[in-house]
Chain A
């Protein structure tokens, strides 16, 4: 056997022994030990490189090449093994690390808007998209703004429609509706056209019960311009109803009377609880009364500073409490201002 053959055989053996040792490795610690033994500084392969200095000149390149091949083979095998072991380890981890996914999550203390604010925002947004802007107005009003300027002079029979809280200050009362805001926004804006919505608290002298409140939120809608028509009132409300209650919402206008509008109407939507079949929510009628509306009365336009011969407009007023009540089928209107957390946290 030549020197060369002997040396090459030795290399072959080194490789074979190393690979067979690798085959027995089953964890990453053993793999590291294997690397130190078979590829470390004092490994057999590295010993071949350091022993080359004493070899024949012709032999050196041959042996160098062969030793390199062995080293690369072992390194490659090491990498392969590492990947296998890591995959196994991951697999095992995935199999053993399990949670009880039914345990409750860590509670985050979430804040909430009051349901009345939520519904009001929805309404404000819908009208906002149609170019209406919010106009704030006071909750304590004068008799003039609440009644007289709205075409209800003292002792007008229509004043009976609102059970009023009067104050001990002469001529001052708690507004019974958001309509006095109509006069305020008109006086602020005349002679510009108006598209305003006026939300706010209103008060009425009622006996407190599940169905009636002494304080409740309303929102008023007002349009003033030249040649505003009843058809536009209808179209605006129809669009509003479809966006609030859904594409399929049925609507109707029904004659009514308010001193500050003429013609006046009630706006009804098909009952979304029973779909018109009749239920206690709609009092067996299949319709829900959503808001009162009409064309702004000439006297009101005049008090607002608009010439009724030139300008016209429409107005609508809706109760937020009542529509929220209907929407969520809430059994008692007093829940809104009792602020019971068991009620509030459902929204």
Chain B
């Protein structure tokens, strides 16, 4: 809400505070000041400010109250006038084109001089002729032969509103020569109202908080009301169908009003608070809403009588009937549903309760008699209506957060008073007040000791009670105990235990969070729990980083089409059910992802022209809906993507080679060894996204934990990727992390020297290297500690369809030095076994 300080000052004296200090006080009680717009007042002293300042200051020597004594015609222009102006220092002639001065032209000296806002040469103010707020410096100029160096201002030029149709005519009692900032300089705080503090979406509400924080008295508006007209009783009636939805409805009547502009100060305040002045009747309802926080609605009484066939109108509050419609005063026609609460009369709907009035019954310039509504509504119902109809208003903002029914009567009384003051007329005696459902204002008992224990403070019971009383609670103190009665303007205080928490907040807020001490936790340490999955997940990240990969963090939201790109064009795989988002931000992000591989491919594509070597990994969930289960499975996946150069290019060497299948395999081996996962195997496999001849499943304890391989050329064509092949791995992390060992066996470093020898065998091309290695290990037994493939040869020497695999073998015994004879025996066993199992022959 936009809060003009001059208005706040009506209820709490803030003259002795500078703007900055006041904004700090407000922010520290929960009324966060987001921006301060100066409308005349100067910037506070000092160069460090904690708030954002905008707007315009009016220096005293340039901006003053002046009076126009006579309006003369311009000799050469019909649309300009010359004003004889006194500014307290002397008389000058000021040129202006303000249409609202034309009526005073050629009248000779004015009997009642016009008081105006006057600026002298050199003043910096807003340019009235340009859109928006653009600053300009007032210079001497000559228009059609007449020289002028000063100006009479419009609201726009002073930054009060966007109004530039005419100059401001001040009230007659404005003292000529007074600096304008002293007369009506202001600042507007843009206050962010917290959802539980809608009571403070009002000037009085904020004043109450400020008065509580500063310990200053609160001056509530004088609500004394002279009701001199004929009584209202019998001239209107109220019927409430559902007191749950409409706890209270109050009507007041004022007759014989003149629908005219409100006084200037009222219009100025409304403008500053961000509301457009309309006429004194509508302005009074808006003014009192901003003042007290109670939205009000004015009906044309005679129109209602007409609708009642010249009888007395009966206001009926009820929910809408099927098919009913209402055109609100913004011109929109709404289809209503049976949950929406309406204000109606016997002829039909009048307004959308608590949200917006109907177009028809609105007050017009011809209105003479006004029936004024002040009501209270169920905030949940209003909230539903607002969200269904996508409609908003100042009234709906407040009613959808809860306004206390007590304010209905207070609002009607104050508003009738303001209408009479600004529009004349007589207020009918009495109100019609239907109040079937008063809230129980909670009474809460709390002990000062509990408060101090909860806050870690040492506040006296008396000080706590004082704080609450400054917030209008009525308190009884008995020993350590406070019994607090909630004041009848708050709906945010609950009963019992929750009420105690509510009051804890009130006490701490006003006492000041900054005064609460800062202490280290003095609590027993909870049982410390080891989560191996989490631990291993972080180890996985570290290992992959150490293996040279960049970690990614990626979006979870995607679309089925985006994920389908990971398949070849003609692929016809099983149907994939997605978790769909009801209100996606774009169709491109309308489901939760199922494939971490699809994410990886998109990120590789995005980066394909940005670097010649890409090596990425991502750890994150995919979301798999499960039949009969409310929440999807969030399956933790790991993806790896490699493409481009194996090493970064280097000046001393030629172009590094591209990465291949075995780079990816090396990363996986490094990872699984680092996690101490045993019983890992790789097996040729097929996967729709991968090259059929260059794909492997990763098996842990014989179970598939993931897949790796080269991106299928047809899939690669779906993405904008560079020439080098792309290698991908997709791993289900849960079984990997479960197989990872925090504790693992460390073998003794051998005391006896190892015997090294090489062994080259020729096998059929189809025999996998891993099988050869397994047979060698089997033959070598426990003293064969290491088998490492170091060469593969294909060619004439070994014959067509054959390959030679060369291994380097390491033999060590734990208890003695192996002799040539020992090793010779083992070697013979290996060769025999290779022959038997694989038909392998020793390469000579």
Contact = CB atoms under 8 A, between A and B. Distances in A.
Interface in B540-560: 541, 544-557
Interface string A216-248: 010000010111111110111011000000000
B631 A157 contact: no
A104 B649 CA distance: 11
A225 B524 CA distance: 8
Interface stretch (A44-52, A69-77, A187-195): A187-195
Most buried by B among A114, A166, A205, A239: A114
Contact of B195 (A117, A172, A257): A257
B516 A234 contact: yes
Contacts of A283: 52
B582 interface: yes
B192 to A, nearest CB: 10
B580 interface: yes
A255 interface: yes
A138 interface: yes
B647 interface: yes
B583 A205 contact: yes
A130 B401 CA distance: 39
Interface in B431-462: 453-457
A142 interface: yes
A79 interface: no
Contact of B518 (A169, A235, A337): A235
A202 B785 CA distance: 50
Given A117-B551, A255-B513, A140 B504 contact: no
A208 interface: yes
B603 interface: yes
A9 B670 CA distance: 77
Contacts of B323: none
Main secondary structure of the interface of A (DSSP, over half): mixed
Interface string A79-123: 000000000000000000000000110110111111011000100
B609 to A, nearest CB: 10
Contact of A192 (B48, B195, B501, B527): B527
B389 interface: no
Given A133-B529, A217-B553, A155 B456 contact: no
B51 A157 contact: no
Contact of B546 (A103, A111, A172, A299): A111
A259 B194 CA distance: 11
A341 B610 contact: yes
Contact of B51 (A229, A284, A337): A284
Contacts of B165: none
Nearest to A104: B651
Nearest to A234: B518
A215 B599 CA distance: 15
Nearest to A236: B521
A116 B620 CA distance: 13
Interface residues of A, number: 99
Contacts of A264: 505
A111 B613 contact: no
A147 interface: no
B383 interface: yes
Contacts of A130: 521
A257 B197 contact: yes
A113 B550 CA distance: 6
A309 interface: yes
A4 interface: no
B822 interface: no
A140 B380 CA distance: 26
Given A171-B630, A255-B509, A338-B606, A109 B519 contact: no
B491 to A, nearest CB: 11
Contacts of A136: 531, 533-534
Nearest to B53: A284
Contacts of B625: 169
Contacts of B544: 111
B557 to A, nearest CB: 7
B521 A257 contact: no
A249 interface: no
Nearest to A137: B634
A273 interface: no
A167 B579 contact: yes
B48 A277 contact: yes
Interface of B: 27-30, 32, 47-53, 194-198, 379-380, 383-384, 400-402, 453-457, 497-498, 500-502, 504-505, 508-509, 513-514, 516-529, 531, 533-534, 538, 541, 544-557, 579-585, 589, 592, 603, 606-607, 610-611, 613-616, 620-621, 623, 625, 630-632, 634, 647-652
30 contacts: A107-B648, A107-B649, A117-B551, A131-B526, A136-B533, A157-B400, A157-B401, A165-B584, A168-B580, A169-B625, A169-B630, A193-B525, A195-B526, A201-B620, A203-B557, A226-B523, A229-B519, A231-B456, A232-B523, A252-B514, A255-B508, A257-B195, A259-B196, A262-B502, A277-B48, A287-B50, A295-B504, A309-B497, A312-B454, A341-B550
In the A-B complex, the 8 residue pairs with the closest CB atoms: A231-B456, A255-B30, A229-B456, A111-B545, A107-B648, A263-B505, A257-B194, A109-B548
